[in-house]
C-alpha cells in the first residue's frame, strides 16, 4: 500500500484519502475526527516530503494526543479535551512526512475488545457490516481494511491491535514493550500498554517501525536501543528456524475450517525449511491468564484515570458539593463497562485486597512469563491462530467465558503483553467470506526476527483481500 502513494503529490493524496475516509466513515463509522488540510498536522508534514512516509495517508487512534485537535479516547468525559502538545509518535510521523487524515474510533478509554463501546457508536467490519471490527483499536483496523488509509496507529494492552487485525484481514504489529514511546498516549494499563500499527503488508509494518521506534526520555519505559532498518533487513528464509505451535490453543478451537487452513500453512512453512514443534503450557496455569490480566489491567486503569473526576479533569457535571460533582461527572461521562472495570480495579487496590488479588495476579503473570521464556529456549517463535472464530456478529450474546476456547484460544495473545514480546497478526484466509489470521510471537527485543517470520508466513499464506462490501 505504501508503494501506491510513494512519490505522489501530497495534496492529491490528501484529497483522495479524505474522500476515502469519509466513505469509510459512512459505511463503518470508524472515524471520530477529520483533519483539515490547513491543520498544522498536515501543513508541518508538507515540509518533510523527503521522509520515509512522505505523502502517505495514515490514521491515529483517538487516544493519541494531537495538539489543537480534540482527543477523546471515545469517552464522553473527555468530550472537551483538546491537547496542548503532540504525542512523541505524532512528532515522528510528521517528521517522516505522513499525512494524518483522521482520529479513529476505539472502545471507550481503550477498554474492550469489540469497538461497540465508543461514545460515537459501534464500528462495523468492512467485510460484513453486521459483524464487529474488534477492539479496542477497531476504527484503525477498519480504516486500513477499507483502503481509506495505508497505515493506522493502534494501542494494544491485551490484543487490541492483533485481534482487530485478524477480524479485518490486515497486518497488526505490536513490537517489544518500550520499543515505541507512549508519551502523549492516554493510558489504559501502564505495564501492559504497547503502541503498534495496522498495515496491509509486513514490509509496510517494518517501515512504520523504523519511523516510530527509538528512545524517548519523556517515557521512562522507553528502551535505549536504536531503530534498525527493519524493512531492508527483512528475510523470509526459514531454514534454521524452529517454530513452536501452541498445542493448548489448537486443542481449544472448534472451527475446523480455521484449523484446516492453519495446518495447511504449517505444512507450507515446513516445506519452506522451518522446523515445526508442538509445545504446551501447563493447562491450569494458562487458564489463569485472562483473570490475571483483568485484575492487573483494571487496577492500573483505576489508578491511571483517577483524575477523570470532573474536578481536576474532564467534563464537569453540576453537584451540591465536590463529592456529588465527581459522582455526577463520572456517572454521566463514563460508560457502564468502564464503571464496572473501575470498580473491579478499585476493589483490587484496596489495601486489604492487594495481597490476595492484585499482587497474586502479578505473581501469576511472572509464572506465565517464565513459562514463555522457557519455550523460547527451544523455539524461535510461537505460532497459533490469532482468533478461534471469524468476527462475531454485533448482536451475538457473550461467549461462554469459562470455556477453553474463550479462556485460551480467544485470549492467548495476552501473553505478548505479559512478556512484552513482539507479536504480529498476519491474514491467513477466509471462512464464510470473513478473514481469519494467524499470529507469531518471538522473545522480547527480537523485533526483526518477528518481522522475518511474519514475512515468511505472509508469503506462504498468499492472502488476497476480497472486494465485496469493502
| Catalytic-role residue among 160, 201, 208, 421 | 160
398 is catalytic: no
- By C-alpha distance, which of 151, 195, 147 is closest to 171? 151
* CATH of 2-238+386-461 among 3.30.70.20, 3.40.640.10, 3.90.1300.10, 1.10.3720.10: 3.90.1300.10
Residue 398 has pLDDT above 80, yes or no: no
**In this structure, are residues 457 and 274 in contact, taking their beta carbons and an 8 Å threshold?**
no
Confidence category of residue 3, pLDDT binned at 50, 70, 90: confident
Rounded distance, CA 255 to CA 208, Å?
A: 33
153 backbone dihedrals φ, ψ, rounded to 5°: -85, 135
The C-alpha cell at 278 is 508442538
207-230 pLDDT, tens per residue? 999 999 999 999 999 999 999 999
pLDDT score at 465: 86
The enclosing H or E element of 70 equals none
At residue 137's C-alpha, the angle toward residues 134 and 143, to 5°, is 90
61 is catalytic: yes
Confidence category of residue 468, pLDDT binned at 50, 70, 90: very low
pLDDT score at 94: 98
260-316 pLDDT, tens per residue? 999 999 999 999 999 999 999 999 999 999 999 999 999 999 999 999 999 998 999
| Catalytic-role residue among 61, 103, 174, 241 | 61
pLDDT score at 383: 99
96-128 pLDDT, tens per residue? 999 999 999 999 999 999 999 999 999 999 999
Residue 130 has pLDDT above 90, yes or no: yes
**In this structure, are residues 4 and 40 in contact, taking their beta carbons and an 8 Å threshold?**
no
Confidence category of residue 232, pLDDT binned at 50, 70, 90: very high
pTM over the 0.75 mark: yes
393 is catalytic: no
Average pLDDT, the chain: 96
Residue 399 has pLDDT above 80, yes or no: no
| Catalytic-role residue among 136, 329, 421, 423 | 136
- By C-alpha distance, which of 67, 69, 62, 66 is closest to 109? 62
Distance, C-alpha 249 to centroid of its chain: 20
**Domain spans, the chain:** 2-238+386-461
Confidence category of residue 400, pLDDT binned at 50, 70, 90: confident
Amino acid at each position: 500500500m505504501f508503494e501506491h502513494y510513494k512519490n505522489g503529490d501530497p495534496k492529491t493524496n490528501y484529497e483522495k484519502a479524505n474522500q476515502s475516509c469519509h466513505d469509510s466513515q459512512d459505511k463503518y463509522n470508524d472515524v471520530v475526527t477529520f483533519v483539515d488540510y490547513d491543520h498544522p498536522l498536515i501543513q508541518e508534514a508538507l515540509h518533510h516530503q523527503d521522509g520515509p512516509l512522505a505523502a502517505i495517508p495514515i490514521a491515529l487512534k483517538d487516544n493519541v494526543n494531537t495538539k489543537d485537535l480534540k482527543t477523546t479516547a471515545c469517552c464522553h468525559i473527555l468530550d472537551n479535551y483538546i491537547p496542548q502538545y503532540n504525542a512523541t509518535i505524532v512528532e515522528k510521523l510528521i517528521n517522516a512526512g505522513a499525512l494524518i487524515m483522521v482520529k479513529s474510533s476505539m472502545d471507550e478509554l481503550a477498554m474492550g475488545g469489540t469497538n461497540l463501546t465508543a461514545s460515537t457508536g459501534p464500528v462495523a467490519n468492512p467485510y460484513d457490516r453486521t459483524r464487529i471490527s474488534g477492539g479496542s483499536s477497531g476504527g484503525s483496523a477498519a480504516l486500513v481494511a477499507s483502503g481509506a488509509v495505508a497505515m493506522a496507529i493502534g494501542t494494544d494492552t491485551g490484543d487490541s491491535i492483533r485481534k482487530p487485525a485478524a477480524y479485518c484481514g490486515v497486518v497488526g504489529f505490536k513490537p517489544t514493550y518500550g520499543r515505541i514511546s507512549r508519551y502523549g498516549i492516554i493510558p489504559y494499563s501502564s505495564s501492559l500498554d504497547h503502541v503498534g500499527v495496522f498495515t496491509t503488508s509486513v514490509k509496510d509494518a517494518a517501515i512504520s517501525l523504523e519511523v516510530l521506534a527509538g528512545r524517548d526520555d519523556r517515557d521512562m519505559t522507553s528502551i535505549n536501543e536504536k531503530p534498525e532498518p527493519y524493512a531492508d533487513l527483512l528475510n523470509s528464509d526459514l531454514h534454521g528456524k524452529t517454530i513452536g505451535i501452541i498445542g493448548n490453543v489448537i486443542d481449544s478451537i472448534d472451527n475446523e475450517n480455521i484449523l484446516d487452513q492453519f495446518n495447511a500453512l504449517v505444512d507450507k512453512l515446513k516445506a519452506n525449511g522451518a522446523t515445526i514443534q508442538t509445545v504446551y503450557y501447563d493447562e491450569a496455569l494458562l487458564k489463569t491468564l485472562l483473570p490475571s490480566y483483568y485484575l492487573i489491567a483494571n487496577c492500573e486503569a483505576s489508578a491511571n484515570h483517577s483524575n477523570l473526576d470532573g474536578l481536576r479533569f474532564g467534563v464537569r457535571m453540576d453537584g451540591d458539593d465536590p463529592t456529588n460533582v465527581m459522582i455526577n461527572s463520572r456517572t454521566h461521562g463514563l460508560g457502564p463497562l468502564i464503571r464496572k472495570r473501575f470498580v473491579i480495579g478499585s476493589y483490587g487496590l484496596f489495601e486489604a485486597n492487594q495481597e490476595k488479588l492484585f499482587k497474586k495476579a502479578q505473581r501469576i503473570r511472572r509464572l506465565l512469563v517464565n513459562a514463555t521464556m522457557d519455550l523460547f529456549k527451544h523455539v524461535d517463535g510461537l505460532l497459533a491462530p490469532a482468533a478461534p472464530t471469524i468476527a462475531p456478529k454485533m448482536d451475538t450474546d457473550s461467549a461462554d467465558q469459562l470455556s477453553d476456547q474463550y479462556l485460551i484460544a480467544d485470549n492467548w495473545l495476552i501473553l505478548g503483553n505479559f512478556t512484552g514480546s513482539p507479536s504480529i497478526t498476519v491474514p491467513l484466509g477466509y471462512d464464510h467470506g470473513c478473514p481469519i489470521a494467524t499470529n507469531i510471537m518471538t522473545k522480547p527485543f527480537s523485533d526483526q526476527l518477528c518481522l522475518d517470520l511474519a514475512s515468511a508466513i505472509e508469503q506462504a499464506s498468499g492472502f488476497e483481500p476480497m472486494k465485496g462490501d469493502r
